[in-house]
Amino acid sequence: MTEKVERAHDSVYGGATAAPKKLTVPDVVAMKRDGKRITMMTAYDAAFARLVDRAGIDIILVGDSAGMVVLGHPNTVPVTMDDMVRMAAAVSRGASRPVLIGDMPFGSYQTGPQDALRNAARFLKEAGMDAVKIEGGHETVDTVRALVDNGISVMAHVGLTPQRVAMLGGFKTQAKSARAARRLLDDAVALEDAGAFSIVLESIPSPVAAMVTERLSIPTIGIGAGPDCDGQVLVLHDVLGLYGDFKPKFAKRYADIGAQVTDALRAFDQEVRAGTFPDADHSFTMKEEELDKLRQGLARPKAV
């Protein structure tokens, strides 16, 4: 760990040995009241979930962005509940402090509150998630209410909703006209009234996000929504340079791990071809006498 990361880790964990206190959904809501900014990052497996946790991030979203950055689909539409539950379960095995949110994939909630309840319950029962996220505005209000009434915390998601990419004509910034921005504001208020504990604002003009943030008492988590949201989220693979196919303007790359991975694998490839790997340091020996016995056994013709 670099010194900076170690300091962040220690401030969260209270030193190297103290157990981290698990954050809860009410803790996240309280952060807005207390004027504390919220950090959220996606993760899709146990190894990265552990690293995200160690960095002190407050919320891990097991996003259906997995469809693109992990599963290799061109968009998030093909992702299934089974895909999501498997990844979410791995994330919950890797992370202990952050609030864990399972992203409801396309088709898992649009068919009505009953299907939404059954699928959201899978995230809690089979994958150890604390809450679920649902894309959409006023049309999801009844579903959000049904989930919350039945004890499932919901993070809403408005603005650019990637599950509608075909209908929107691509990954485009939303709420750019006064009329569309007003509709988004009304949707956000309706989702708060329905019981959502927070809301993602994706790819909308910063002043619109600022207005939503001011109007709501639940936290807004921005992605491409400017600096005035209560929190920020990015897709892990964008942050680490692990996904090169599509780079939205809002996605800041904090490291280029992808290039390092390629360099490391090239070195492996070259060493194997040159016969320099594995060397003695990476190989096992056995006692000379055992080796002799083996050789003698092989030299002697087998008794018939």
Residue 66, both tokens: 């997995």
Residue 223 contacts ligand KIV per CB under 6 A: yes
Based on CB atoms, which residue is closest to ligand KIV, 9 or 206?
A: 206
Q: Is 63 in the site for ligand KIV (CB under 6 A)?
A: yes
Name residue, tokens 């399972």. Answer: 102
Stretch that binds ligand KIV, among 63-71, 183-191, 203-211, 296-304 (CB under 6 A): 63-71
Burial code of 159-173, b = ≥16 C-beta within 10 A, e = fewer? bbbbbbbeeeeeeeb
According to the binding rule CB under 6 A, does residue 201 interact with ligand KIV?
Answer: no
Closest contact distance (angstroms) between CB of 7 and ligand KIV is 28
* Residues 30 to 59 in contact with ligand KIV, rule: CB under 6 A: 42
Regarding 88 and contact with ligand KIV (CB under 6 A), the answer is no
Query: Least distance (Å) from ligand KIV to the CB of residue 215?
Result: 20
Q: Which is nearer to ligand KIV, 172 or 268 (CB)?
A: 172
On whether the CB atoms of residues 50 and 93 are closer than 8 A, the answer is no
Among 53, 58, 83, 103, binds ligand KIV (CB under 6 A): 103
Contacts of 138 (CB under 8 A, 6+ apart): 186, 187, 190
Assign residue 224 a region (left: φ > 0; alpha: ψ between -120 and 50; beta: otherwise): left
In the complex, minimum distance from the CB of residue 40 to ligand KIV, in angstroms, rounded to a whole number: 8
CA separation for the pair 162, 134 (Å, rounded): 11
Report d(CA 290, CA 159) in Å as an integer: 70
With CB atoms as reference, the residue minimizing the distance to ligand KIV is: 63
Distance from C-alpha of 164 to C-alpha of 186, rounded to nearest angstrom: 19
Residues 144, 156, 194, 233: which binds ligand KIV (CB under 6 A)?
A: 233
Interface contacts to ligand KIV, rule CB under 6 A: 42, 61, 63-65, 103, 200, 202, 223, 233, 235
